Amino acid sequence: MGATTEDGDPLALALFGLTAVSGLIDAVSYLGLSHVFAANMTGNVVVIGFALAGAPGFSVLGSLTSLAAFLLGAALAGRLTLGRLRPALAAETLLHLAAAAVAFAFGTGGALQYGVIALLAVAMGLRNATVRSLGVPDLTTTVLTMTLTGLAADTRLAGRHSPHQRRRVLAALTMTAGTVPGALLVLHHHLPWALVLAAVLTAATAVLYRDRA
């Protein structure tokens, strides 16, 4: 299924939307939750190294919390969603709303931030495992390293061509587009509303997308 998914296919459009949500979530977690990534686990591994080296502003505990929660979400994906996107999106929406509720009710200071981090990272792990099972090339929704590698490696300069070049560009643009509202809301002290926005966008994607039979 994944290898033949066109850019205008409902599945691809859903994954573009989720890529924007990932950008939003990582903007919130990095700028508002002690420089932790909820979606990009490579970033957390690097942040742990920074923190262990004594760099100010980075948290070993925060990044470890995110890593552990992400792995839990990925492990649960097989049982909860069975590789189907809509159930995964429903679960992700509920987790974003739970994180927003905690942030609204109690804030994100002190130990509470670890609860918010955990909820967001579980959501991202669950979604990442589900998207992985769908096997759509260059649309992982959470990381862009291999997508950008393909974008450069499959150019005329490299003597190669790929039908996925537009998809790769769109993936980078949608993730960037998602970071902007997330960053703006955090910088203007509206972090809980950024999480509500993530939930709304994820729910909208679930409503608009229909799993294939």
Helices marked H in 3-84 — which ranges? 10-32, 41-52, 60-80
The answer to the question of residue 1 being in a domain is no
Q: Which residue type occupies 44?
A: N
The answer to the question of residue 200 being in a domain is yes
Token digits of residue 173: 């643009």
**Band of pLDDT at residue 211, cut at 50, 70 and 90:** low
Phi, psi of 53 (to 5 degrees): -80, -5
Question: Regarding predicted confidence, which is higher, 62 or 2?
Answer: 62
Domains in the chain, number:
1
Which residues span the domain enclosing 160? 7-208
pLDDT in tens, 119-140: 999 999 999 999 998 888 888 8
Phi, psi of 85 (to 5 degrees): -75, -40
Question: Regarding predicted confidence, which is higher, 174 or 5?
Answer: 174
pLDDT at 157: 66
- Contact residues for 175 (Cβ-Cβ < 8 A; gap 6+): 19, 20, 22, 23, 144
Question: Regarding predicted confidence, which is higher, 143 or 49?
Answer: 49
Cα–Cα dist 151/138, whole Å: 10
Cα–Cα dist 210/206, whole Å: 8
Mean pLDDT for 10-34 is: 95
pLDDT at 17: 95
| Percentage of residues in the chain having pLDDT higher than 90 | 70
**Band of pLDDT at residue 84, cut at 50, 70 and 90:** confident
| Chain center to CA of 41 | 10
Cα–Cα dist 113/116, whole Å: 5
Tokens 């931030």, located at residue? 113
pLDDT at 95: 98
pLDDT at 14: 93
